[in-house]
Amino acid sequence: MNKTPVVIVTGASRGLGAAVARWLAVVGAGVTLVARSGGDLDRVAEELERLSGKPLVCKADVSDYVACQTVVERTMERFGRIDSLVNNAGIIQPIAAVAECDPAAWRYSIDVNLIGPFNLTRAALSHLRKQNGRIVNVSSGAATQALANVSAYCAGKAALNHFTRVLAAEESDLTALTVRPGVVDTAMQAFIREAGPKAMPAEQVDYYQQLKDHGQLEAPETPARSIAWLALHAPRQFSGRFYVYDDPFISAKALAVFGKVPG
């Protein structure tokens, strides 16, 4: 029987998700890469192959429950077990005031940011129970802060935090938690700088631009290292809680397991 831990990572085609997958591959974990973008997924898979083994690539939209079922089925066929989920897939769109927001776009944001983690969790739950598994839901500071003109993203992340608390209360054999990855230098931040001036208050736009200009955005590899450690090693007492990636306990443990960020 395969004893290597197996982790499903969503939003794995770039940015934070790809970085989480790379850290997992460094320590030899089996990884299922999930995203909507097949070409980018293949490039990440090639990187992981050079590190260890052969990851499973699944092109899927997490807002589709049947697609999530297929991801779980394929993972079991390939690896024979599922130890952890990293529900990282997320979108910040639409950036618009509630009074002007496209209802369909608002709904799709909730579908990805909240329903997506539910879908994959629900599909994988019976397999996770067998491994006393872990579910790491990637949240945001937006879960606790009211940010103008990103109501869907804020609402989705706030609901994700509470969904995770309820899941932890229901599933006593699992460890389910949320983590705030900080402000990361990813395509999402680039989109905010591009689209923000059309909808956000000027001071909010300036804040995000200053983060970039002053080099204050975190490289994805740093929070990803903490998330990878949580996926493999988060203790049971973490269940139901909301952590920040640079919590000294988490970041120190992650550094000890994975080593320093390359470069």
Per-position DSSP letters for 181-241, written without gaps between them: --SB-SHHHHHHHHHGGGTS-HHHHHHHHHHHHTT-SBPTHHHHHHHHHHHHH--GGGTT-
Helix (H) or strand (E) holding 7: strand 6-10
Whether the bond into 235 is cis, omega within 30 of 0 = no
Active centre residues (catalytic): 139, 153, 157
Helix (H) or strand (E) holding 34: strand 30-35
Helices (H), 171-199: 187-195
